[in-house]
Structure 1
Amino acid sequence: MDSLQDPASLLSSQNLDAFWMPFTANRQFKQRPRLLESAEGMYYRDVDGRPILDGTAGLWCCNAGHGRIEIAEAVSRQISHMDFAPTFQMGHPLPFELAERLAEIAPPGLDRVFFTNSGSESVDTALKIALAYHRARGEGTRTRLIGRELGYHGVGFGGISVGGMVNNRKAFSVQLPGVDHLSHTLDLERNAFTRGLPEHGAELAEQLERLVTLHGAENIAAVIVEPMSGSAGVILPPKGYLQRLREITRRHGILLIFDEVITGYGRLGAPFAAQRWGVTPDIITTAKGLTNGAIPMGAVFVNRIIQDAFMHGPQGMIELFHGYTYSGHPVAAAAALATLDIYARDGLLQRALELEDYWQEALHSLKGLPHVIDIRNTGLVGAVHLASRDGAPGSRGYDVFEECFWQGVMVRCTGDIIAMSPPLIAEKEHIDQLVEVLGRVIAKTA
C-alpha cells in the first residue's frame, strides 16, 4: 500500500478487523472509528484533517507536546549510528548517561536507576526488587505486598495483583498470592468539589497499621500506591495521607513504592509527586513522560541503600536475575535524553505550577452543570465526575468522551469520570477551549 496515500481514502480502503485493540470496546469502536493521523504542538489531526485539541497528553505521556523535532532528530541519529546493543553483560554509553541525568532530578537518595520498557514492566521490576531486597538482607519472610483499592499498576500479573481496579483482573484466574489492599481515598460525601488536595481522609492511612497487626510486619515486603490515582479518575491523596503512609512503613521496615508512571516528569509541577508533596519513598516507578511518548521506555528509581544490599558476595555473581532485552535501549535512551533537554530548557517540569490556578478556576467553572457531582484537580490534571445513569454505569461518561472528540477535543473517560491532563506546553487559550467544549458537551448529553 502506498504510504503517501490520502489518509481519508486510506481509511475507506482499510480493514480494521485484524488489530485487536487494547482497553477498547473493539466492536463499538470499529462502527465509528476515531483515527488520528498526525500531531503537532497541542493538536492531533484525524484522518479527515480535523484538528483535535489534545486534552490528555496522548495517554498521559506527551508532556512536551507533539512533533518535537529535537526528539525526532536524536532518534534518527542514534538509530543510524547504532540501532541496538545488549545490556546483559555488555553496555553502551547512553543508559549510563541517562541514569546520571535522571538521578539529578530525582528525590535525594533515589539515584540508582533500572530501565524497563513500560509502566507495567516498571511496576513488576519494583515489586521484584522489593522482594529480593528483603531476602538479600536475611528477611526472606517478607513476601506480602500491599496495594490499594482503585489503584492502577499496569497489566503484568504483579501489577494487576497489587492493583485495585477489578475489571483489570477478574477475567484472569492467576494472581500473586499474599496480596492485600488499603481502602481508596475517594470520598465524595466529605470532599466533593475540593480545590487541590482534599482536607478529609488522612486517617485512612492508619489501615496499614491494621494490616501490619493482621499479617505481621516481618511478613510484609512493600506497600505500593500511586501518589495520585490517575487511571481510576484522578483520585487525590488527602492532606497528610502520604506522609502518614511514609511514617508507618518506615517504622515497620516496609518499603514504600510510589507508582509515578502518570505523575512523573512534571505533571504536578515538580519532577515527581514525591517532591511536590514532600514525601520520599524507597522506590519510584516511571515511564510515559520519560521519552515524551516517542519511544517505549520506563525507569525505576531505587534508593542506593537498596542496591547496596545486593552488592555482596563474589564480584562475578549476578546480583539481580531480572531484566529485559530492551532495558536501556540506545534509541529509547536517545529519545529520553532529548526529552530531558527540552524539559530543562523550557522549564516544563515546573510549568504545571504556573498554570495550576488558572486550570483550577476553569475546571471548577463547570460546577452546576447537569449531573456533575464532583470536580478534582491538582497540578495540570483534573477530572469531572458525572452521576451514573440508572442501569447503565459508564454510558454517560462515554457519550461525553465521544462527543468531545467530534467537537474537536480529546479527553479520557474512566467510567463516568472525565479525566484531563493536557501537555505541559498548554496556554490559557487551550485550557479555555478544552473547558468550553467539555461544558457544552456535558450540557448537551445530560
Structure 2
Amino acid sequence: MNDAARTGPALWSAQAHMPSVLGRQIVVTRGEGNYVHTTDGRRLFDGTAGLWHANIGHGRAEMAEAAAEQMARLETYHVFGRYLNDRAVELAERVRDLSPVADSKVILNSGGSDAVDVALKLARRYWQLLGRTEKTVILSRDLSYHGLHAYGTSVAGIDVNREGYGTESLVADTARFDTRDIEKVRRTVAGIGPERIAAIVAEPIQGTGGVIPPEPGYLEGLQRIADENDILLVLDEVITGFGRTGHWFATERYGLRPHIIAMAKGISSGYSAVGGAVVAPEVWEPFYESGGPVYRHGTTYSGHATSAAVALKNLEIIEREGLIGRVRELEGVLSAELGSISSDPRIAETRVAGFLGGIELRPEYPAERVADEMLEQGWIARPLRGNVVQVSPPFTTTDDEVRGIVAAAVSALDVVAPVDLAMAR
C-alpha cells in the first residue's frame, strides 16, 4: 500500500481505479453558468454537464433561493402510508402533465439508480400480481448502463459493471440482447420464451455505452416486440428526460408508448437529488383496486420536499427560457461541428442525437488521454466505453462554446502521441 492511499482524501471516488486517480484528483469548488472552478485556480468549461445533468448551468441564485425558502417552511416530510407533503404532490403532478404517458402515476425517489430499481421491481411485481408467475426475466441491451444498484448492476450491458460479484447477475433472471439489430432481438426473445419475460429495459440513446443513437426503426421494433408478446417496455430516460433530446422526453422524439419511464438528472439539473418513475395506467391500476397489494417501494427521501421544490424551479426555468427549443438549435450546431471533423483520420466516427455527442477515436488515440489534454486546455470532456469522447454541455451553452469544445478535441489530438498498439499488447 503506497503512502498516497493513506494520506489521500478519505472520500472513495465513484467509478474510479483508485491507484490511477490518487494525486490527480480535481476538486471543484464553485460553478458559474457553463463553467466550474477548481481549488488550483482553473476555470473549466463543463462539456459534459457534470454527469449529463447540469442542464440549466451552475450557480443559479434562484435555485438556491427556492431551496432556502422551502427549508425554512418545511425541509421535508416522508410520503409513506397516509402521509404526503405538498411539494412532492406538486412535483408529481407537474411531471405527470409533462409526461407523454397519459393518466400516469409518478413515484419519486433520490436518483437514477433508485429509479431503475423501483421500475424493474415493479415490472416483476406486476406480473406476479396478475398471476403470470413465470414472467420474471428482465432483458436489457448490450452496452447499456442503468445505474449501479442491484437491478442496475444485474442488467448492465457493459460487462465490467456486472462482473466480480460471484454470480452472473446479482438479481436472478436477466439477459442481454443486441443493441442495433432488431431481428437479433427477436431471436433472443424467442430463445428465452416471451412467456418468461417480464420487461425490456432500454435507454432511447445509450449514454455511457458510447453515445449510441438508435438505428432507424430499432426502438419502434422494441415497442412492437413488447406489444406482441405481453412484455412491459421500460425506458431509462435518466439522461434523456427533461429536454436533452429537444423534447421533454425522448419517448416523444421516437414515438414510443412505454409502460414505465425511469427519470432523474434533468428533472432538477443536479441541484437536488431526485428521480423516480412514470407509470402507465395498465401497470398502476391493479395496485389501486380494492384488495390490491402494497407495492413495496420507498426510501426515506422519496418525495423529499426541498428536492421537489428545487426540481419544480428547474422545470420552470427550462420552460420560461425556452431551453428545449434551444436544445434543438444546439443539436444542429453540434452536428455541424462534429460533421466537420469526421473525416479526420484519427477519428473513427462522430455521433449526435439531441444535445448528446460522441467522438469515437481510432484505437491508437486513447480517449482518456485526449480528455486529459482537453482538460489541460480548459475543457471538460469524458472518456466513455468504446474509446469515445463525450460532448454534452448544458442547455445554456453558446454556439461558440460548442465550436470551442469540438476544436479543443482536435487540438488535443494534435498533442496526444499515438499508441503503438502492437507494443501495448
Determine if the TM-score, normalized by the shorter chain, exceeds 0.5: yes
AA of the residue aligned to 1:339: N
Which residue does 1:106 correspond to in 2? 99
How much does 1:272 deviate?
0.9
TM-score (norm 1): 0.88
Establish whether residue 340 from structure 1 lines up as the match of residue 311 from structure 2: no
Which residue does 1:182 correspond to in 2? 177
Q: How many residues align?
A: 408
Establish whether residue 436 from structure 1 lines up as the match of residue 407 from structure 2: yes
How much does 1:208 deviate?
3.2
Which residue does 1:387 correspond to in 2? 362
Establish whether residue 281 from structure 1 lines up as the match of residue 264 from structure 2: no
On the 8 A contact 2:141/2:202 being kept in 1, the answer is yes
In structure 2, the CA distance between the partners of 1:83 and 1:229, relative to structure 1 (3 Å rule), is same
RMSD of aligned residue pairs (Cα, Å):
1.6
Aligned-pair identity (%):
34
Equivalent positions of 1:340-419 (< 5 A) are 340-389=315-364, 396-415=366-385, 416-419=387-390
Which residue does 2:121 correspond to in 1? 128
Equivalents in 1 of 2:143, 2:189: separation in Å?
21
Equivalents in 1 of 2:45, 2:22: separation in Å?
22
Which residue does 2:21 correspond to in 1? 29
Q: Please state whether the residue corresponding to 2:327 is helix, strand or coil.
A: helix
Establish whether residue 75 from structure 1 lines up as the match of residue 76 from structure 2: no
AA of the residue aligned to 2:336: E
Equivalents in 2 of 1:322, 1:154: separation in Å?
17
On the 8 A contact 1:369/1:442 being kept in 2, the answer is no
AA of the residue aligned to 1:432: R
**Structure 1, residues 271-309: CA drift from partner, whole Å, max 9, x if none?**
111111111211110111111101111020110221002
How much does 1:369 deviate?
3.0
TM-score (norm 2): 0.93
On the 8 A contact 2:114/2:276 being kept in 1, the answer is no
Which residue does 2:3 correspond to in 1? none
On the 8 A contact 2:204/2:219 being kept in 1, the answer is yes
AA of the residue aligned to 1:292: S
**Structure 1, residues 171-221: CA drift from partner, whole Å, max 9, x if none?**
212422221111122xxxxxxxxxxxxxxxxxx222332233222222110
Which residue does 1:256 correspond to in 2? 233
Q: Please state whether the residue corresponding to 1:374 is helix, strand or coil.
A: strand
Q: Please state whether the residue corresponding to 1:279 is helix, strand or coil.
A: coil
How much does 1:429 deviate?
1.1
How much does 1:357 deviate?
1.5
**Structure 1, residues 214-260: CA drift from partner, whole Å, max 9, x if none?**
22222110000111100111011011111111011101110001101
On the 8 A contact 1:284/1:302 being kept in 2, the answer is yes
Instruction: Single out whichever of 31-40 and 147-156 deviates more from structure 2.
Output: 31-40
On the 8 A contact 2:205/2:353 being kept in 1, the answer is no
On the 8 A contact 1:271/1:350 being kept in 2, the answer is no
Which residue does 1:268 correspond to in 2? 245
On the 8 A contact 2:209/2:384 being kept in 1, the answer is yes
Establish whether residue 40 from structure 1 lines up as the match of residue 15 from structure 2: no
Equivalent positions of 1:67-216 (< 5 A) are 67-89=59-81, 90-109=83-102, 111-174=104-167, 175-185=170-180, 204-216=181-193
Q: Please state whether the residue corresponding to 2:25 is helix, strand or coil.
A: coil
Q: Please state whether the residue corresponding to 1:221 is helix, strand or coil.
A: strand
Which residue does 1:235 correspond to in 2? 212
Equivalents in 2 of 1:313, 1:387: separation in Å?
59
Structure 2 residue runs without a partner (length 5+): 1-5, 418-425
On the 8 A contact 2:34/2:45 being kept in 1, the answer is yes
Q: Please state whether the residue corresponding to 2:138 is helix, strand or coil.
A: strand
Instruction: Single out whichever of 271-280 and 348-357 deviates more from structure 2.
Output: 348-357
Structure 1 residue runs without a partner (length 5+): 1-13, 186-203, 390-394
